């Protein structure tokens, strides 16, 4: 028994690190050889296919998907997407427990996309996330939702292209406000998306998946060495986190504009973007966006304003995003309490171009979320925002860009609301496959 005022050996930071090291060593001996074997086998298979190809350019996974041609020139694709995670939780925020290992499907998608006609694009995709997940995995920093069996709609929308400057999208999709929040998790350079993906979604639409029914109008204009991309949307929010008892209704309005300098980020209007230039693009994207809803039963003014930049210059990828989330929260009676939460994200990656168009990608991410200073417990009770941060350091091996990718990353972060048990750490080996 430790003396009064002394901590036990189990609480000693040196002993904790030694325990974590022993678990890492065990994981290295068991999981790492399998992970390397899988990557080597996949690389060998793809290189063998490349060697027998008539083209100097190896076939991409887009060619492997099930595609059905339509008689009017359109097509239908059947899509599959899986993120397989192997998480070694070293320390949990808010929970004092030993390290533990968990294997689960972090994200899964199954659906169909295509062009009904050359001008009409559609997307009908369903998700199955967190399948086989341990409730004590530190993958989100804290003990969280366990094994999921829900199969739910993720994106259901149609885009009609009237003109490159006029594209109309309607359905169930992500509003164009908060860059990381509407970027696909499959095309980010970090292994997990930053905090800027999650809280802006709760702030604007109330759902963790960030989707809402609405209409968006957008367009793209490219000139030599410069381009302009815009989006304007109107959405019908109905989640209780935003609408309350639904007694007062107003629409959510969103807008975004992006200046493209050098090589464009995209060459045609789209709702899908990637964060890496894969060592090819030499360009800069600078964006500004906003979301606004005037009043519901829960607030009088709900606003998100964000700025962002994405630099892809040869092997270098750099991304920056800063968001202000303002809300004038309704109190009992006729009073309102204004709050402002802030969010910062910085990512950097370096692409080493290897043989067979494969890429080794070294990645760093820092993401920080800060609630309004008036809340001493570091949590905004009106918006659900928490003061927290996370650092991600790792490597990705891209066999077919992001469509077939292996990752090995170390995460270290903290959730202030759980102080003094705020810190958390975990290591994750992942496989991502998209077809």
pLDDT beyond 50 at 377? yes
pLDDT beyond 70 at 155? yes
- pLDDT score for 418: 83
User: What digits encode the pLDDT tens for the residues 252-288?
Assistant: 999 999 999 999 999 999 999 999 999 999 999 999 9
User: What digits encode the pLDDT tens for the residues 105-147?
Assistant: 999 999 999 999 989 999 999 998 888 888 777 776 544 555 6
pLDDT beyond 80 at 380? yes
Total domains present in the chain: 1
Asked whether 413 and 389 are in contact (CB, 8 A), the reply is: yes
Q: Evaluate whether residue 112 is within a structural domain.
A: yes
Question: In the predicted model, what is the mean pLDDT of residues 206-228?
Answer: 95
The per-residue pLDDT of the chain, averaged, comes to: 86
Q: Evaluate whether residue 209 is within a structural domain.
A: yes
Q: Evaluate whether residue 362 is within a structural domain.
A: yes
Name the percent of the chain lying above pLDDT 70. Answer: 83
pLDDT beyond 80 at 192? yes
What is the CATH classification number for the domain harbouring 172? Answer: 2.40.160.10
Q: Evaluate whether residue 2 is within a structural domain.
A: no
Report how far residue 40's alpha carbon sits from residue 362's, in angstroms, rounded to the nearest whole number. Answer: 19
- For 355, the domain range is 10-434
User: What digits encode the pLDDT tens for the residues 397-408?
Assistant: 999 899 999 999
- pLDDT score for 263: 96
47 compared with 260, residue with greater pLDDT: 260
415 compared with 25, residue with greater pLDDT: 415
pLDDT beyond 70 at 50? no
User: What digits encode the pLDDT tens for the residues 319-330?
Assistant: 999 999 999 999
1 compared with 161, residue with greater pLDDT: 161
Q: Evaluate whether residue 4 is within a structural domain.
A: no
User: What digits encode the pLDDT tens for the residues 335-349?
Assistant: 899 999 999 999 999
pLDDT band at 11 (very low <50, low <70, confident <90, very high): low
- pLDDT score for 54: 44
pLDDT beyond 50 at 7? no
Q: Evaluate whether residue 250 is within a structural domain.
A: yes
- pLDDT score for 43: 56
Q: Evaluate whether residue 93 is within a structural domain.
A: yes
| 17 phi-psi bin (left φ>0, alpha ψ -120 to 50, beta other) | alpha
């Amino acid at each position: 028994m430790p003396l009064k005022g002394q901590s036990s050996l189990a609480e000693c930071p040196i002993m904790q690190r030694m325990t974590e090291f022993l678990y890492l060593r065990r994981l290295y001996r068991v999981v790492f050889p399998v992970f390397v074997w899988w990557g080597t086998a996949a690389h060998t298979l793809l290189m063998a296919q490349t060697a027998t190809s008539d083209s100097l350019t190896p076939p991409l996974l887009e060619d492997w998907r099930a595609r059905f041609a339509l008689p009017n020139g359109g097509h239908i694709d059947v899509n599959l997407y899986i993120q397989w995670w192997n998480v070694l939780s070293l320390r949990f925020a808010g929970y004092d427990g030993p390290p533990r290992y968990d294997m689960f499907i972090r994200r899964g998608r199954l659906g169909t996309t295509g062009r009904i006609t050359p001008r009409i694009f559609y997307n009908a995709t369903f998700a199955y996330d967190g399948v086989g997940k341990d409730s004590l995995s530190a993958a989100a920093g804290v003990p969280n939702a366990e094994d999921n069996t829900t199969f739910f709609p993720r994106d259901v929308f149609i885009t009609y292209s009237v003109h490159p400057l006029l594209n109309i999208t309607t359905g169930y999709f992500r509003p164009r406000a908060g860059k990381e929040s509407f970027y696909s998790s499959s095309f980010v350079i970090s292994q997990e998306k930053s905090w800027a993906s999650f809280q802006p979604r709760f702030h604007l639409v109330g759902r963790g998946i960030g989707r809402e029914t609405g209409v968006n109008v957008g367009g793209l204009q490219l000139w030599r060495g410069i381009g302009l991309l815009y989006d304007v949307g109107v959405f019908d929010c109905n989640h209780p986190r935003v609408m309350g008892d639904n007694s007062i209704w107003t629409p959510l309005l969103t807008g975004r504009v992006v200046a493209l300098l050098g090589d464009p980020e995209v060459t045609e209007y789209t709702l899908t973007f990637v964060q890496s230039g894969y060592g090819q693009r030499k360009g800069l994207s600078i964006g500004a966006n906003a979301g606004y809803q005037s009043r519901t039963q829960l607030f009088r003014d709900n606003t998100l304003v964000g700025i962002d930049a994405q630099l892809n210059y040869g092997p270098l990828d750099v991304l920056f995003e800063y968001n202000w989330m303002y809300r004038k929260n309704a109190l009992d009676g006729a009073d309102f309490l204004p709050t402002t939460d802030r969010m910062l994200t910085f990512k950097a990656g370096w692409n080493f171009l290897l043989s067979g168009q494969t890429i080794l990608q070294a990645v760093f991410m820092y993401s920080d979320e800060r609630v309004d200073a008036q809340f001493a417990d570091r949590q905004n009770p009106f918006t659900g925002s928490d003061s927290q941060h996370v650092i991600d350091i790792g490597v990705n091996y891209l066999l077919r860009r992001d469509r077939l990718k292996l990752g090995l990353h170390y995460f270290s972060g903290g959730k202030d609301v759980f102080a003094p048990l705020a810190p958390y750490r975990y290591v994750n080996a992942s496989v991502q496959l998209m077809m």
